Amino acid sequence: MSSEEIDLMDFTEQGGCSAKISPDVLSEILKELPFIKRKELLVGSESCDDAAVWKVNSDTAIIQTTDFFPPLCSDPYTFGQVAASNALSDVYAMGGKAIMALNLVMFPSKKLSLNVLHAILKGGADKVAEAGAVLAGGHTIDDDIPKYGLAVTGIIHPDKIIKNSTASCGDKLILTKAIGTGVALAGARIFKTKGDGYHQALVSMQQLNKYAVSLMQKYEVHSATDITGFGLLGHAYEMALGSGVTIIIHSESINLINGVYDLVDDGCIPGAAFRNLKHIEKSSRFNENLNYNIKMLMCDAQTSGGLLISCDEQNADDLVKELRLAGYYSSTVIGEVISKEHNKTLIIE
């Protein structure tokens, strides 16, 4: 069977970041694990940040991250591109430069042609090359369900690390990509339709967040994170919680992947969206007139999603303009940061 004849969606029920363990379950597991603090460890597991950061010297820190998942689309090469983009994204969310990557591969070698594996790896390798990093090896095991991703090493100046826990009151929040990739992919699986929205989702997921890094550093943004498996609201929640603030989200300002609103209207809501909603619901206040479809799309698990950026209000409009010029055409201001409001971490209007 050639790579042109197979459909990777036939090999998994949950693909991409939708396959992540529920944030509630994950937090229960992690709180029982010991945390060893070292002065060189500038960012570690004590926070819910995008990657770990280790200080080497006064000029250099290493960013370390990893991500992998089952197929989320039909084509092996595209799957490799998306998985690599997603893994690289954590380095960019922290303002860093990716320098090296290692392949993480699980593949059913007795069920699928090695041509399929070659196409997946080629997709990943091409995306790593676009990132300006070096693909230096990896590890493979035989597994019934194909999975692919990267372990990524990046570098950054210790004084220029952008954390997800340093948003400031008065900041504006910018989102760089449209949301709804999880719903778009689920629609392709359930309804077997691969229209404009599906292809828009694939293009969005293949787009590196690399080109936003220099702009984040230029405008000295206060905080950032990438939107992945916990959805827009889940990652906004982590930013607000870590920063000790409340975040207001203006739902009408959020750009959506084409067609996903109608898919949700037809009942196409992936299970991850409900898990993500459960995670943040008690700490959030939703406008009583909030559209249900939009609410669920804000909880939709994204794969290789955009960046959520918290920046000084006076820089927000200029940053949005430059992000759009850099190719992030859906960039827009979607909210703001205020002082902590009682027990509410998120306010969704």
Picking from 183, 186, 212, the residue whose alpha carbon sits closest to that of residue 89 is 212
Q: φ and ψ at 207, to 5 degrees?
A: -75, 120
Distance between CA atoms of residues 14 and 145, nearest Å: 11
DSSP characters over 35-60: ----TTEEE-TTS--SSEEEE-SSS-
Distance between CA atoms of residues 34 and 17, nearest Å: 26
Across 198-241, the runs of DSSP E, i.e. the strands, are 223-226
311 is catalytic: no
Of the residues 17, 48, 268, 311, only one is catalytic, namely: 17
Measured from the Cβ of residue 300, the count of other Cβ atoms closer than 10 Å reads: 31
Burial environment of residue 94 by CB neighbours within 10 A (0 to 12, 13 to 18, 19 or more): buried
Across the chain, the runs of DSSP E, i.e. the strands, are 41-43, 52-55, 61-69, 97-107, 134-142, 147-156, 172-175, 223-226, 245-249, 284-286, 307-311, 332-339, 346-348
Give the residue numbers annotated as catalytic, written as ranges.
Answer: 17
